[in-house]
Amino acid sequence: MKIVFQFNSKSSGQGVHDAVSIAQKYNGILDGKFYKIQFDSPEDKNLDKLLELVGNLKGSLIFIDNEEGVVASKFMNTFNCPDKLLCKGICNHTHLGYYPLKEFKAYYGRSIKNNVLTTNDSHLIGSISDFLDEIEENHFKLNKELVYQYFVESTEFEKKYCSKYNEEKTKMEVDKLPNEICFITPEKYEGEIYMEEYEGEEKEINKILRGILTNCVIDSKLSIEDILNCSNAISLLSFPSQGNMIQDTDVWVYSYPHIDKFILMKLKTQELEPKITDDQEIIDVVTKEKNLFYLKNPYIELYFQVFDSNDPAAKDYYKILKNL
C-alpha cells in the first residue's frame, strides 16, 4: 500500500513547525505550500505523529495508491481507531442524534415500548429530522431506509479500508431501531410535575427535572464553554438514566458510561405541591453558583455539573454539594 500524506506548510496551526521538521527529515517533497511525504504502511509511527500534529488542519489529505485524496482525519479515525480492539463491525464514527448507532437503542431502551420511542428531547427530534416522516402532530415514523443509506454513505472509507467493518451487521443494527418516535411537548409536563401523587423519590426527582429543564434558558453571561457543557448536562438530565442518591448527602449521581460522563446533582425543593396560577409565568435561568450550574425559582434550587468519568475535580465539587 502506497500512502502519501499532504499538509499545508504555511498554515498557522500549532503543530506545523514540528510537522515540517518530520517532512524534511523523511524526504518530504515541497509542492508549492504543501509538503508531501510517502509511507509504505499506515502503521508507520511518523505518519501517526504527522496525523497527530496536523491531521485535523484544512488541506491535510491522504492519498492511497494514487487514488483521489481523502480528508486525513477520516484516515486517522479508521487506522487509529480507539475502538479497534473491541469493534464488532458497527462503526462508532457516525452518529444518529447524539449516539453511535449501536448505542442509540441502549441509551433510549427504557423509553421504547412496542417499537415506539417516547421522548421529550426536542434536540433529538431536531438532530434526526431528516429521517422522520410525520404520521400526525408530534408522532413520527423513523425512515430506516434513509438511516441505513446515511450510515453506508458516511462509512464509505471504513468499508474500503477497515477490515472489521461489517455492512450486514450495520443493517441489522438499523433494523433494531424503533419504528416510531412520539414527542412529548414540554407543555404536557407543565403543572403536572408537582400535582401527581408521590410515587417514589427517584421518580419524583426525575419528574421534577424533566419539567424544569425542558423549559429553562441558559444565562448568556456564561462563557461559550460553560454554555455548551450546561446544554449537554440539561439534555442528559431532562431524560436521565437511573440515578443513585449518595447516602446522607441528598446528592444524586447519574452515570452515562456509553459516553464516558457522569453528573452530580442536588435538588432542594421548597414545596412539593406549589399552586401555579394561570397568570403566573416562571422563566428559569441556569447560571453558575460556586462553580456549579445553578437554577432557582420559588419551588426549587437545583445545582448540577457534568464530568468526564476520570475527572479528578469531581471530588471537590462533591464536597461542595454535600455542604449545600
The answer to whether the beta carbons of residues 256 and 264 sit under 8 Å apart is no
What's the rounded mean pLDDT across residues 37-53?
Answer: 86
Task: Using DSSP bridges, classify how beta strands 99-100 and 95-96 pair: parallel, antiparallel or unpaired.
Answer: antiparallel
Distance CA 317, CA 139 (A): 40
* pLDDT interval class at 189 (50, 70, 90): very low
Per-residue pLDDT tens over the stretch 122-153: 778 888 999 999 999 999 999 999 999 999 88
Backbone φ/ψ region at 191: left (φ over 0), alpha (ψ -120 to 50), beta: left
Return the number of other C-beta atoms located less than 10 Å from residue 73's C-beta.
14
Torsion 38-44-49-54 (CA) sign: positive
The answer to whether the beta carbons of residues 124 and 99 sit under 8 Å apart is no
Residue type present at position 237: L
Report DSSP letters for 184-221, one per residue.
--HHHHTTTTTTSPP--HHHHHHHHHHHHHTT-EE-TT
Distance CA 7, CA 36 (A): 7
Distance CA 117, CA 177 (A): 9
Can you give the pLDDT at residue 187? Answer: 52
The helix (run of H) or strand (run of E) holding residue 152 is helix 144-154
The answer to whether the beta carbons of residues 89 and 98 sit under 8 Å apart is no
How does DSSP classify residue 59? Answer: T
Q: How many helices (H) and strands (E) would you count in the chain?
A: 12, 19
Distance CA 41, CA 214 (A): 50
**Furthest-apart CA pair in the chain: how many Å?**
76
Per-residue pLDDT tens over the stretch 299-316: 788 999 999 888 888 999
Distance of CA 246 to the CA centre of its chain: 26
What's the rounded mean pLDDT across residues 145-170?
Answer: 86
Q: Which three cell numbers stand for residue 292?
A: 456549579
Can you give the pLDDT at residue 283? Answer: 64
Distance of CA 78 to the CA centre of its chain: 20
How far, in Å, are 115, 132, 149, 309 from residue 135 at the CA level? 15, 9, 22, 40
Per-residue pLDDT tens over the stretch 227-276: 888 988 888 887 656 678 888 888 999 888 767 889 999 988 765 444 44
Whether the pTM exceeds 0.85: the reply is no
Q: Which three cell numbers stand for residue 156?
A: 464509505
**Exposure string for 267-297, b = 16+ CB within 10 A, e = fewer:** beeeeeebeeeeeeeeeeebbbeeebbbbbe
Return the number of other C-beta atoms located less than 10 Å from residue 156's C-beta.
11
Q: Where are the domains of the chain?
A: 3-79, 85-183, 201-323
What's the rounded mean pLDDT across residues 181-189?
Answer: 71
For 176-313, where are the alpha helices, taking DSSP H only? 186-189, 201-213, 224-238
Q: Which three cell numbers stand for residue 289?
A: 453558583
Among the listed residues 97, 125, 247, 265, the one whose alpha carbon sits nearest the alpha carbon of residue 183: 125
